[in-house]
Amino acid sequence: MNISEKILAYASGRDEVKPGEIIEAKVDMSMINEITGPLAIEAFQKIGAGRVWDNNRIVMVLDHQVPADSVKSAELHKIMRRFSREQHIRNLYDVGFGGICHQVMVEKGHVKPGELIVGADSHTCTYGALGAFATGIGSTDMAAVFATGKIWLRVPESIRIKIDGSLGRFVTPKDVILNVIGKIKADGAIYKALEFTGSTVNEMNVSGRMTLCNMAVEMGAKTGIINPDDKVLSYLKGRVEGSFRMFKSDPDAKFERTIQFEVDDLEPQVACPHSVDNVKPISKVEGTPINQAFLGSCTNGRLEDLRVAAEILKGKKINRRVRMLITPASQEIYLEALNEGLIRIFVEAGAYVTNPTCGACFGGHMGLLASGEVCISSSNRNFVGRMGSPEAQVYLASPATVAASALNGEITDPRRVEG
């Protein structure tokens, strides 16, 4: 079996499972945020279960509209806090104590290799970077998980994404996954498990692997997953408690197909409006004027993303026609960036550094775009109206490309900028 099948077999108490089978599986950990969470709570209360199945296996994170920007969002926060008190859920990450839910889940030790994890957010698949089978589910499905600790799943077919080669300077994991999405397309992996392998993936740290798995859902995938290794064990040291199982794909594991990518000559990639799979090499779009540059999100708000941006921005000034928003993915990352002097570099360059939040990516809080405006963003979606006006345009790119573009006021190949 491959890693996804092994995890689902263990979670369902079976020796083996096969693609297409319907299983009832035990959930190891579940997560809600304040957008999807209140709906799950309402549905749970209608079920009449009374108590959640395990208050230690539920994580609640306030991250999308933090701090509350309206009475409506404040009421959503209130529902989350009240439910955590009523159910004695200790893992509530309130304003000032967490950050973006997917970053918080990983860095606070709520994700272990070999686990089945569900979250009421589509980018829950991020946790596959640690060798967990993680997937997003709906709010009413989450209510059933809260009540029973179990979920029905169809075992997905697996596609092996084999990526080999060495990345050039200022070519990043984000460029790799955009290139993959551009080839497979937004509907090319519906309900599949995407297993990322190859020398390029092996060389990536956990942060880069999170970027790959985060955007698996942009191809319609049920999950993205990577076989855990020593880098994962090193990352988990001091973060997780208790034992865990490190499942890995067998050498003779079966896949629906294998798709190979070579990245030695890969140039920075850009997803153009208004679809994540409308991907072009940066040479095809370089020179496009921008109004806003956004660095952050659960895709690219981690420390290595801030570091590469700081390398490009240090000692320079952002173009006066551009506003740049930088959003660390968590309080922990914010503090590390502060200690390294990255925040100072950003502020001196003219960037606006925000609190850890989904922020501009979500389009419901800060950094909204007006009609006719253009943004280059390190986030994961560029649908019509995603970041504000339906008449705005969003280009997706790596943190390096976002920073370089902010300097020049137009989409810029970061390899042309002296770091």
pTM exceeds cut of 0.85: yes
Structure tokens that stand for 127 in this block:
């946790």
Query: What phi and psi values does residue 77 have, to the nearest 5 degrees?
Result: -60, -40
Low-confidence ranges of the chain (pLDDT < 50): none
* pLDDT 10s digits, 28-62: 999 999 999 999 999 999 999 899 999 999 999 99
Distances (CA, A) of 69 to 65, 73, 74, 77, 241: 6, 6, 7, 11, 36
What is the chain's Cα-based Rg?
A: 20
- Alpha-carbon torsion angle 40, 42, 45, 49, nearest 10: -10
Structurally, at CATH architecture level, domain 3-260 sits in 2-Layer Sandwich (3.30)
Residues 6 or more apart whose Cβ sits within 8 Å of residue 73: 34, 65
CATH 3.30.499.10 residue window(s) in the chain = 3-260, 271-416
| 22-26 and 29-33 beta bridge pairing | unpaired
Asked if the bond preceding 328 is cis, omega within 30° of 0, the reply is: no
Distances (CA, A) of 176 to 263, 279, 362, 376, 400: 7, 11, 23, 17, 13
Asked if the bond preceding 274 is cis, omega within 30° of 0, the reply is: yes
What pLDDT is recorded for position 419?
A: 55
Q: Which residues of 49-76 are buried (b: 16+ CB within 10 A; e: fewer)?
A: eeebbeeebbbbbbbbbbebeeeebeeb
Instruction: Report the DSSP beta bridge partners of residue 117.
Output: 29, 134
What pLDDT is recorded for position 241?
A: 86
Distances (CA, A) of 369 to 48, 320, 360: 42, 17, 9
What CATH fold (topology level) applies to the domain 271-416?
A: Aconitase; domain 3 (3.30.499)
What pLDDT is recorded for position 135?
A: 98
What pLDDT is recorded for position 12?
A: 98
Distance CA 394, CA 385 (A): 9
